[in-house]
């Protein structure tokens, strides 16, 4: 029995569904966020854009093009995980009992978020180094004024860096499919929020307040503006610990929340 035809058969049977799920996740999350921004602006509800500059049509098309290529890479990675499961290389507990009960499931969910945040922070720091910046990470930073469609706007190398986290985690920690699905949901929602360009987070997210340990849109927007601060994804603590949090983050966040009109060009030039 040849292994190759059966692997090919498995690919043709499973990969299209994985691709559609990955594609749907990106398209729905980015489109819903973009729609929320439009509706909020139309109703006069919520703050104005964080930056004075506005994204151009070509920024949207570049972000969407790069993101679709990343979706293709993520779906190949997803198929790799599925195949590893089929061939018994990765153990996925399919019932609550097999996953060790609800406490273990909740602990795994918290663990995957902490691990992903650490993976993101440290690979991100590495990608800003001279060895990887131009070839791996610069594509993402072509979005100086990010839009929700920049969520997956990565170069090929960075798409693989982002993709490979999940199989590595699953190799080490047996993870219930429900935890994987919830993790993917939280990841894409926080991702499109980080690139929204408009600050919807309430004041409780300000540094020093009750939810100050979670990132905001201003947090990641400042990363796109400066390219040298705020490397974290979900949490602010790595940036605090490593001294990479933008010195004016708290002030910029509170200003962005209250801004009712785009930042004036003159005001922006003094920053
Ligand atoms: Zn970004
Ligand atoms: Zn970066």
- For the entire predicted model, the pTM comes to 0.92
d(CA 200, ligand 2 centre) in Å: 22
Give the ligand whose atoms come closest to the C-alpha of residue 154: 1
Find the 55 Cα to ligand 1 centroid distance in Å: 14
Instruction: Tell me the pLDDT of the chain averaged across its residues.
Output: 93
Which pLDDT score, from 0 to 100, does residue 270 have? 53
Per-residue model confidence (pLDDT) at position 212: 97
Domain limits for position 23:
3-193
Beta bridge partners of residue 198, listed in sequence order: 49
**Confidence at residue 78, expressed as pLDDT on a 0 to 100 scale:** 97
Distance (angstroms) between ligand 2 centre and the Cα of 139 equals 10
User: How far, in Å, is the centroid of ligand 2 from the Cα of 127?
Assistant: 7
Q: What is the per-residue pLDDT for 124? A: 98
The predicted pLDDT at position 254 comes to 93
CB 90 within 8 A of CB 171: yes
> How many Å lie between the centroid of ligand 1 and the Cα of residue 151?
7
Taking the centre of ligand 2 as the mean of its atom positions, its distance from the CA of residue 17, in whole angstroms, is 31
> Is residue 257 domain-resident?
no
- Answer whether residue 234 shows pLDDT above 70: yes
Tokens 């920049």 map to which residue? 150
How many angstroms separate the alpha carbon of residue 159 from the centre of ligand 1? Answer: 12
Ligand 2 centre to CA of 121 (Å) is 10
Say whether pLDDT at 7 is over 90.
no
> What is the average per-residue pLDDT within 2-19?
86
- Asked if residue 242 belongs to a domain, the reply is no
In angstroms, what is the span from residue 228 Cα to ligand 1's centroid? 12
171 found inside a domain = yes
Which residue, among 155, 164, 153, 251, has the nearest Cα to 195 in the 3D structure?
153
d(CA 165, CA 171): 10
134 within domain boundaries:
yes
pLDDT tens figures, 128-177:
999 999 999 999 999 999 999 999 999 999 999 999 999 999 999 999 99
Q: Does 259 reside within a domain?
A: no
Is the residue at 229 inside a domain?
no
Q: What is the mean pLDDT of residues 185-194?
A: 98
Structure tokens at 3: 């292994």
Distance 102 CA to ligand 2 centre (A): 36
Tell me the chain's radius of gyration from C-alpha atoms: 20
pLDDT at 3 over 70: no
Per the domain annotation, does 21 fall within a domain?
Answer: yes
The phi, psi pair for 65, rounded to 5°, reads: -60, -50
The Å distance, Cα 140 to ligand 2 centre, comes to 7
- Provide the 3-class DSSP secondary structure of residue 156: helix
**pLDDT band at 245, cuts 50/70/90?**
very high
How many separate domains does the chain show? 1
Question: How far apart are the CA of 142 and the centre of ligand 1, in A?
Answer: 10
Residue 265 scores a pLDDT above 70: no
Q: How far is the CA of 224 from the centre of ligand 1 (A)?
A: 6
**Which one of the ligands is nearest to 228 CA?**
2
Q: Does 74 have pLDDT greater than 70?
A: yes
Q: Nearest bound ligand to CA 127?
A: 2
CA 138 to ligand 2 center in whole angstroms: 8
Helix ranges, 146-216 (H): 156-163, 165-172, 177-194
Residue 37 in any domain: the answer is yes
Ligand nearest to the CA of 219: 1
CA of 195 to the centre of ligand 1 (A): 6
Confidence of residue 51 (pLDDT cuts 50, 70, 90): very high
Tokens of 93: 């507990």
């Amino acid at each position: 029995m040849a292994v190759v035809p059966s692997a090919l058969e498995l690919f043709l049977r499973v990969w299209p569904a994985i691709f559609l799920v990955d594609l749907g996740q990106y398209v729905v999350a980015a489109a819903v966020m973009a729609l929320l921004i439009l509706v909020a602006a139309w109703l006069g509800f919520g703050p104005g854009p964080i930056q004075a500059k506005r994204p151009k049509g070509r920024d949207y098309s570049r972000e969407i093009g790069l993101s679709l290529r990343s979706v293709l890479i993520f779906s190949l990675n997803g198929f790799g995980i599925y195949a590893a499961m089929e061939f018994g290389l990765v153990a996925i507990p399919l019932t609550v009992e097999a996953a060790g009960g609800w406490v273990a499931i909740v602990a795994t969910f918290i663990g995957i978020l902490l691990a992903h945040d650490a993976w993101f922070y440290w690979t991100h720091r590495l990608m800003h180094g001279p060895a990887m910046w131009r070839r791996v990470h610069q594509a993402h930073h072509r979005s100086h004024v990010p839009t929700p469609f920049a969520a997956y706007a990565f170069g090929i190398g960075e798409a693989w860096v982002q993709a490979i986290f999940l199989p590595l985690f699953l190799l080490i920690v047996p993870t219930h499919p429900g935890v994987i699905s919830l993790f993917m949901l939280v990841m894409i929602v926080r991702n499109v929020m980080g690139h929204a360009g408009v600050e919807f987070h309430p004041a409780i997210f300000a540094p020093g307040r009750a939810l100050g340990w979670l990132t905001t849109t201003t947090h990641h927007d400042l990363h796109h503006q400066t390219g040298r601060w705020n490397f974290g994804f979900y949490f602010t603590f790595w940036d605090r610990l490593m001294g990479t949090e933008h010195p004016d983050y708290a002030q910029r966040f509170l200003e962005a929340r209250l801004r009712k009109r785009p930042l004036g060009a003159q005001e922006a030039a003094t920053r």
